[in-house]
Structure 1
Amino acid sequence: MLKKLAVIGFGSTMIGIGVNGFILPFHLINGGMFGISIVINYLWQFSIGLTFVILNIPVYLFAYKSDFDYFLYGLIGAFFSGFMIEFLVPLRDVFHLPIVSSVIIGGVILGIGVGTMLRNHISPGGMDLLALLLAKWTKINVGIIAYAIDTVIIMTSLLILQEPRLLYSLLIVSIVGLFATVITSWNHYEK
């Protein structure tokens, strides 16, 4: 239990840093419920953390009926991730990097945070929880499933917001997906 809480703390902090320090300053999005929450924030200025928690409810109800451990640790992971995104809002004005550097650094930080949580069967958000459940049932790497879901979210966001700059978001989810896939693959070779 302590290891899981440490992983949640580390992963949530990395997510908060990546989102606030490197993604939001350029009005970009990442995938999953975070990405959907950010789009809603851009459209209607709703709180990203609160929107994130609310959007997760249906997926968590589904997980509750499917796998209680995934549900429990996913709920804790989503709560702490949402909290850290709100807590680390002051980072939005700290780093002043070119957009490509910010996208790469933000993607790596997010990928490490998300990948570490997924490796330990903890979800930082609803779409990742759905990816964990799908990976359990299909035996497809959770990072690949999460990347596919995130790509659909980014493409949909491009259509809704019609902002060409969001193409950088595809690079973000690619980096996050790569890191999550690599980090979660380590489990298969341990023992």
Structure 2
Amino acid sequence: MYRSSVQYYLGQRRKGNFSTVKNGLIIFLGATLVAVSLQLFLVKNYIIDGGIVGLSIILSHVFHVDVGSLILLLNLPFLVAGFFFLGGRFLVLSLFASSVLAGETYILAPFEEVTNHPLLIIILGGLLLGMGVGLIIRFGACLDGTEVLAILFSERLPLTIGQCILLMNIIIFGSSVFLFGITEAIYSLATFFVAYKTIDTIIMKS
């Protein structure tokens, strides 16, 4: 998934036909789906995602800070680094996606979670998250700077991009065991699987 998304970014960088309005609207929709998944399904049920999103959920519980603001803040250095690999368009669209997500998670924060049922959280939360992130990736941006970090590491270490991402996520999901418990960590892994299968499906349609 990560290798295909990076290839997609690079392909978008070379394309001349680019609709700012169309891409911006779809990225807005994608960020909205992610915000709904986070605030109405995952965060309040102590379910995390991988990468920067998962780390932001953990830190939001520890420091009681809005998860969307943390995603935007933690992504900034990685997105700036991504500018040198993927161009200014990638940076602008990614900042837009992160900013929309930060605003909408703040708006949705006072609302109660839709459900506490584990199966519904995994399926609905994972699908909404995967659809949102998939649309953002498909139209030239990203919400997770760990993909950019994986590119940098893979060029300097004997690891693939996917292996770098896997290693970072093992650390993040491992941390959730100590903070939230083994049950929540298992639910998080299941949600992660649903989300990234959904992302793969959306990207493969591009």
Give TM class, smaller chain.
Answer: 0.7 to 0.9
Cα distance in 1 for partners of 2:135, 2:22 equals: 12
* Aligned residue runs from structure 1 range 9-158, under 5 A: 9-68=28-87, 69-91=89-111, 93-128=112-147, 148=166, 151-158=169-176
Going from structure 1 to structure 2, the CA distance change for 1:127 and 1:7 (only over 3 Å counts) comes to: farther
**Greater CA radius of gyration, 1 or 2?**
2
More displaced, 98-107 or 120-129? 120-129
Deviations 1:133-166 (A, max 9, x none): 68xx9xxxx9x78974774354332355261122
Between the aligned residues of both structures, percent identity stands at 22
TM-score (norm 2): 0.75
TM-score (norm 1): 0.81
Cα distance in 2 for partners of 1:129, 1:10 equals: 23
Structure 2 spans left out of the alignment, 5+ residues: 1-19, 156-160
Deviations 1:63-89 (A, max 9, x none): 122222211211111111222222221
AA in 2 matched with 1:86: Y
More displaced, 3-12 or 150-159? 150-159
Where do 4+ consecutive residues of structure 1 move more than 3 Å? 128-131, 144-151
Cα distance in 2 for partners of 1:118, 1:145 equals: 20
Conserved in 2, the CA contact under 8 Å of 1:78 and 1:126? no
RMSD: 2.6
The number of residues matched between the two structures is 178
Deviations 1:68-127 (A, max 9, x none): 221121111111122222222133x15234122112110001111111111112212323
